[in-house]
Structure 1
Amino acid sequence: MSKSQVITARIDPEVMELVDRIAAAQGRSRSWLAARAIEKMARAETAFMDFVKVGEDDIAAGRYLTQEQMEEWVEERVRNRQAIRQAAE
């Protein structure tokens, strides 16, 4: 029994031409290209959802800065960086 699953999708002719060009240039099948593209997209989207979830969890736990606090933090970092540069001169 195969471990892979079959998926069907409708692709417009222009995109199919691009897929065929890539497949011919790389010596790969349409199926291989589609599987890699779906895998890449699914991994990227899952990583993004996980990233967002960490942020949402932090907010729910009260671990965040207000806009004003963030602006103060950035300004302090800039001032510290400028002081380091001036001291090095």
Structure 2
Amino acid sequence: MNHPAPISSSITAEVDAQTLALIERLAEKRGVTNAEFAADAIRRVVESEADFDAFVQVGIDAADRGDVVPHKQVMAALDGMIAKHRARCSK
């Protein structure tokens, strides 16, 4: 089965000399062009941001459904964890 070639676009961004030097060093170390390094870096950041947004949305959806733990219950559990930790550390 033939798949169409992926469509790509260019983005131009200004970076300071220090950042450019770092890009050049890391790209050379990895054996890729500056553009390939930058494209990969952008892809990794946007994937991470999208994952974080999805994670946050899970919490928002749970809160919208009323599927939450009351503040007092959370604080009581944390206080218990802290007390156990302090007891363990004081031995």
Same fold at TM > 0.5: yes
Q: Distance in 2 between matches of 1:28 and 1:15?
A: 17
For residue 2 of structure 1, report the CA deviation from its aligned partner: 5.9
Q: Identify the match of residue 23 of structure 1 among 24, 27, 35.
A: 27
User: Aligned pair count?
Assistant: 78
The 3-state SS of whatever aligns with 1:7 is coil
Unaligned runs of 5+ in 2: 85-91
For residue 23 of structure 1, report the CA deviation from its aligned partner: 1.5
For residue 72 of structure 1, report the CA deviation from its aligned partner: 3.5
What is the aligned partner in structure 2 of residue 14 from structure 1?
A: 18
What is the aligned partner in structure 2 of residue 53 from structure 1?
A: 57
Percent identity of equivalent pairs: 28
Give TM-score scaled by structure 2 length.
Answer: 0.75
In angstroms, what is the RMSD of aligned CA positions? 2.0
For residue 67 of structure 1, report the CA deviation from its aligned partner: 1.6
Unaligned runs of 5+ in 1: 80-89
